[in-house]
């Protein structure tokens, strides 16, 4: 049995040295901070400010506009939190996911250096086939070794069993490494997608905030205008009162 384990001098660079598990943790930390930021913005926009501005609304048109603005703001915040939360949801990854559209960049990296990902095998299909073959050979040799009585043949079976088990273990290690990378790429794709959705959601939040401020802001300018009109009308009224109270003068000839 020939061992396919590469020698230390010929072993290719390990792409897992970059730490896909660490990358997943960092990506999910980014997603958590995004949720905190979105929640903070939502609390700022729909906190105490709208409650104090409600008293400035005195007609149904502004009431519906203010309600629509608040609804859009809450919808945008909820949308951003929902999509970002998906990046924090535990996901299942399989080797078949390597063919998914979001794995295009990973497939390109593998195509540039297949040996770094598949080891002595040329493709994922060959890797899976050879793993099953090495496991079957190891099981068969283990049975033969248990029945063998010849010392010379026993040593041959022992060596073959050791090689088969080593090759099977190496194939399992390569598959596990690919599975870890696929999982990291899935989380990366989810975080990137959440960023785009968060950007669109903030556009909705901004629209809702503008609509609400427009519905309540023009009412804030009404009281000063009314006071100005009242002040301008006061001298005329006062003049009329003075004219009414002025005594009638005695004109000559009467």
Residue 45 pLDDT: 67
pLDDT class of 221 with cuts at 50, 70, 90: very low
Query: Residue 238 above 70 pLDDT?
Result: no
**What is the per-residue pLDDT across 7-65, written as a single tens digit (0 to 9) for each?**
444 444 444 444 666 667 777 787 777 777 777 777 776 665 565 666 666 777 777 87
As a whole-number percent, the residues of the chain with pLDDT over 70 amount to: 69
More confident residue, 68 or 157: 157
Rounded Cα–Cα distance for residues 219 and 53 (Å): 9
- The structure's pTM equals 0.64
Residue 160 pLDDT: 92
As a whole-number percent, the residues of the chain with pLDDT over 90 amount to: 27
**What is the per-residue pLDDT across 113-144, written as a single tens digit (0 to 9) for each?**
999 899 999 999 999 999 999 999 999 999 99
Residue 54 pLDDT: 62
Span of 45-59, 127-141, 181-195, 239-253 with lowest mean pLDDT = 239-253
Residue 32 pLDDT: 78
**What is the per-residue pLDDT across 88-101, written as a single tens digit (0 to 9) for each?**
777 778 889 999 99
Residue 21 pLDDT: 63
């Amino acid at each position: 049995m020939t061992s396919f384990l590469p020698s230390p001098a010929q072993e290719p660079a390990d792409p897992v040295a970059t730490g896909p598990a660490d990358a997943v943790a960092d990506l999910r930390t980014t997603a958590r901070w995004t949720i905190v930021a979105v929640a903070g913005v939502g609390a700022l926009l729909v906190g105490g400010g709208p409650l104090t501005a409600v008293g400035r609304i005195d007609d149904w048109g502004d009431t519906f506009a203010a309600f629509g603005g608040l609804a859009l703001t809450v919808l945008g915040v909820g949308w951003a939190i929902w999509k970002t939360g998906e990046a924090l949801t535990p996901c299942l990854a399989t080797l078949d996911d390597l063919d998914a559209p979001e794995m295009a960049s990973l497939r390109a990296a593998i195509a540039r250096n297949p040996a770094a990902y598949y080891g002595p095998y040329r493709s994922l299909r060959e890797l899976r086939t050879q793993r099953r073959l090495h496991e079957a050979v190891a099981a068969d040799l283990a049975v033969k070794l248990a029945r063998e009585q010849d010392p010379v043949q026993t040593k041959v079976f022992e060596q073959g069993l050791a090689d088969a088990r080593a090759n099977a273990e190496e194939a399992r290690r390569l598959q596990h490494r690919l599975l870890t990378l696929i999982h990291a790429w899935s989380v990366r794709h989810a975080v990137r997608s959440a960023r785009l959705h968060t950007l669109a959601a903030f556009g909705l939040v901004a629209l809702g905030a503008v609509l609400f401020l427009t519905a309540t802001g023009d009412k804030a300018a009404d009281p000063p205008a009314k006071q100005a009109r009242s002040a301008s009308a006061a001298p005329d009224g006062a003049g009329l009162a003075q004219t009414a109270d002025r005594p009638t003068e005695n004109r000559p000839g009467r």
